[in-house]
């Protein structure tokens, strides 16, 4: 599927107010002080991974590019800012002509990252780069959290298909972003039609318990569904008695019944019983789909069960206990003056409580061991060592305000599978542990 050519079927006239007020008040003060045009470098990184996680997954890069392209202060937005006196008239005039004309580099979507990895670097004037802080963090923190949860669930599933079905457990727009991130992380399909429309992700879905309860009997419900959708449909068999429902399902749909879904109870026990019953009835090709508050641990516990696919909702769209990645967007370098050729000066926050950062415009490379497996995330500033020159992680995303790295969503999905496969085997363990790669810093 080539989502790069889909454009934006949902009209989003402006993303400029997906921001915090202080971005605009900083802009106003910098314009008045004469420092707004000073060349600046901001970087997105996280100081630590969520507790117990071995790696992070970059999600949302493509959405960031769409958002930057649509970050415009149109008439309605400017009227709002003026009416509420959020900024003064000179700032409103500056915003009216705003277009991001800087450069953005970053880890490509689907790649893995570690503490300190410069996941995204935004370069431009202070004024244009600072405005993007909130929305970039909003996208990357959410989508990367979901992508990481999806990746862990994909590992636990061991190649069995995963269905994203969390739309009813989160904000309606967040559900679309979550379905996209889950697809990057390894899910095969989504139940959310908006995600299918917007990103061309395959969609699936048949019926809920309400459809069974609508009819006078479970048999009537199954007949109606098979008449409408064909024998290859998936019938929900746990509304009343599972064994009776399976018998009825095969009787109505025949041995060509596509699948049965179990949504409650002891899934491990029921899956074995249903598989045996289906085989005894001659429906050996009928698949078993399980749902019901699954996460990576529940999926792993079903590894030995005759389950063919998993449907996951709540735990997926909430990052499986970690709904954010704690990414930050920090100024790491700025020009000595407003002159276009003024040299960059590293800057960094110094504070207590583990919130310090490292100044300087940074590159990142992944060092491999003798067997070709990743062994360290190397982050540095200044000249890149020759031995790491072909292992750089960041790619050009935006050049002079123009998007240069749009790609099909499948490219990010495939990239993640390859990146995860290139990590040490311990990366896929679900047990508590430290990041699978250490981060090493090289100073200029």
Residue where one domain finishes, among candidates 321, 339, 364: 321
What is the mean predicted confidence (pLDDT) over 286-292? 97
Domain CATH code at residue 373: 3.20.140.10
Please report whether residue 137 resides in a domain: no
* Cα distances (Å, whole numbers) of residue 174 to 108, 194, 244: 21, 11, 39
Please report whether residue 409 resides in a domain: yes
pLDDT at residue 9, as a whole number: 42
What is the mean predicted confidence (pLDDT) over 70-74? 93
Clarify whether residues 244 and 196 are in a common domain: yes
pLDDT at residue 340, as a whole number: 86
pTM as predicted: 0.94
Clarify whether residues 397 and 366 are in a common domain: yes
Clarify whether residues 258 and 337 are in a common domain: no
Please report whether residue 421 resides in a domain: yes
Please report whether residue 434 resides in a domain: yes
pLDDT(8) > 80: no
Closest CA to 106 of 72, 159, 68, 162: 68
Q: What is the mean pLDDT of the chain?
A: 94
pLDDT(61) > 90: yes
pLDDT(350) > 50: yes
Please report whether residue 39 resides in a domain: yes
Clarify whether residues 309 and 343 are in a common domain: no
Sign of the dihedral defined by the CA atoms of residues 169, 173, 176, 182, in that order: negative
**Which tokens is 254 given?**
């025949």
pLDDT(4) > 50: no
Burial of 224 (0-12, 13-18, 19+ CB in 10 A): middle
Residue that wins the pLDDT comparison between 15 and 443 = 15
pLDDT digits 0-9 by tens, 361-377: 999 999 999 988 899 99
pLDDT at residue 352, as a whole number: 67
Q: Which of 132-141, 336-345, 416-425 has the lowest mean pLDDT?
A: 336-345
Please report whether residue 337 resides in a domain: yes
Please report whether residue 173 resides in a domain: yes
The percentage of the chain sitting over the pLDDT mark of 70, rounded to a whole number, equals 96
Phi, psi (5° rounding) for residue 334?
-150, 155
- Phi/psi class of residue 347: alpha, beta or left (left: φ > 0; alpha: ψ in -120 to 50)? beta
Clarify whether residues 219 and 314 are in a common domain: yes
Q: How confident is the model at residue 147 (pLDDT cuts 50, 70, 90)?
A: very high
Clarify whether residues 297 and 427 are in a common domain: no
Clarify whether residues 124 and 166 are in a common domain: no
Please report whether residue 142 resides in a domain: no
What is the mean predicted confidence (pLDDT) over 42-52? 95
Residue where one domain finishes, among candidates 258, 289, 321: 321
Clarify whether residues 75 and 170 are in a common domain: no
What is the mean predicted confidence (pLDDT) over 51-78? 95
Instruction: Give the range of the structural domain holding residue 181, as residue numbers without chain letter.
Output: 147-321
pLDDT(443) > 90: no
pLDDT at residue 6, as a whole number: 47
The percentage of the chain sitting over the pLDDT mark of 90, rounded to a whole number, equals 91
pLDDT at residue 194, as a whole number: 96
Clarify whether residues 166 and 219 are in a common domain: yes
pLDDT at residue 13, as a whole number: 59
pLDDT at residue 114, as a whole number: 98
The number of folded domains in the chain is 2
pLDDT at residue 286, as a whole number: 98
pLDDT digits 0-9 by tens, 222-263: 999 999 999 999 999 999 999 999 999 999 999 999 999 999
pLDDT digits 0-9 by tens, 152-162: 999 999 999 99
Domain CATH code at residue 280: 3.20.20.70
Clarify whether residues 163 and 290 are in a common domain: yes
Clarify whether residues 311 and 373 are in a common domain: no
> Burial code of 163-195, b = ≥16 C-beta within 10 A, e = fewer?
bbbbbeebeeebbbbbbbbbbbbbbbbbbbebb
Residue where one domain finishes, among candidates 268, 298, 321: 321
Clarify whether residues 247 and 354 are in a common domain: no
As a whole number of angstroms, the distance between CA 431 and CA 423 comes to 16
pLDDT at residue 353, as a whole number: 64
pLDDT(357) > 90: no
What is the mean predicted confidence (pLDDT) over 21-39? 97
pLDDT(126) > 60: yes
Q: Which of 338-352, 385-399, 408-422 has the lowest mean pLDDT?
A: 338-352
């Amino acid at each position: 599927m080539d989502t790069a050519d889909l454009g934006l079927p949902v009209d989003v006239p402006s993303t400029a107010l997906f921001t915090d007020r202080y971005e605009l008040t900083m802009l106003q003060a910098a314009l008045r002080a004469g420092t707004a045009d000073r060349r600046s470098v901001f970087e997105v990184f996280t100081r630590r991974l969520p507790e117990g996680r071995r790696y992070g997954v970059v999600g949302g890069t493509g959405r960031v590019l769409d958002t930057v392209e649509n970050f415009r202060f149109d008439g309605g937005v400017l009227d709002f800012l003026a009416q509420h006196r959020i900024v003064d008239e000179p700032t409103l005039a500056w915003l009216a002509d705003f277009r991001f004309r800087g450069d953005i580099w970053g880890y490509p979507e689907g790649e893995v990252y570690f503490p300190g990895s410069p996941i995204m670097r935004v370069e431009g004037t202070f004024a244009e780069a600072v405005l993007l802080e909130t929305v970039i963090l909003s996208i990357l923190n959410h989508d990367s959290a979901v992508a990481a949860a999806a990746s862990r669930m994909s590992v636990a599933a061991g190649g069995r298909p995963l269905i994203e079905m969390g739309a009813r457990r989160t904000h309606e727009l967040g559900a679309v972003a979550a379905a996209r991130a889950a697809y990057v992380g390894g899910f095969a399909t989504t139940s959310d039609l908006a995600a299918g429309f917007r990103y061309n992700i395959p969609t699936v879905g048949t019926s809920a318990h309400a459809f069974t309860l609508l009819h006078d009997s479970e048999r009537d419900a199954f007949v109606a569904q098979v008449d409408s959708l064909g024998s290859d449909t998936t019938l929900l068999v746990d509304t009343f008695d599972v064994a009776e429902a399976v018998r009825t399902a095969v009787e109505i749909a025949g041995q060509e019944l596509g699948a049965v879904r179990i949504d409650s109870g002891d899934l491990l026990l029921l899956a074995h019983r249903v598989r045996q019953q289906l085989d005894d009835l001659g429906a050996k090709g009928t698949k078993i789909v399980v749902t019901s508050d699954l996460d990576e641990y529940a999926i792993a516990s079903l590894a030995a069960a005759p389950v063919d696919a998993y449907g996951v909702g709540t735990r997926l769209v909430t990052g499986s206990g970690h709904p954010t990645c704690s990414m930050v967007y920090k100024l790491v370098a700025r020009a000595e003056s407003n002159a276009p050729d003024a040299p960059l000066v590293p800057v960094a926050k110094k504070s207590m409580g583990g919130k310090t950062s490292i100044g300087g415009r940074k590159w990142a490379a992944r060092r491999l061991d003798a067997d070709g497996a990743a062994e360290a995330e190397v982050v540095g500033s200044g000249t890149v060592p020759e031995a790491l020159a072909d292992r750089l992680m960041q790619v050009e995303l935006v050049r002079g305000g123009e998007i240069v790295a749009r790609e099909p969503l499948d490219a990010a999905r495939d990239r993640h599978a390859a990146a995860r496969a290139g990590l040490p085997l311990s990366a896929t363990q679900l047990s508590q542990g430290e990041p699978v790669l250490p981060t090493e810093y090289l100073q200029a």
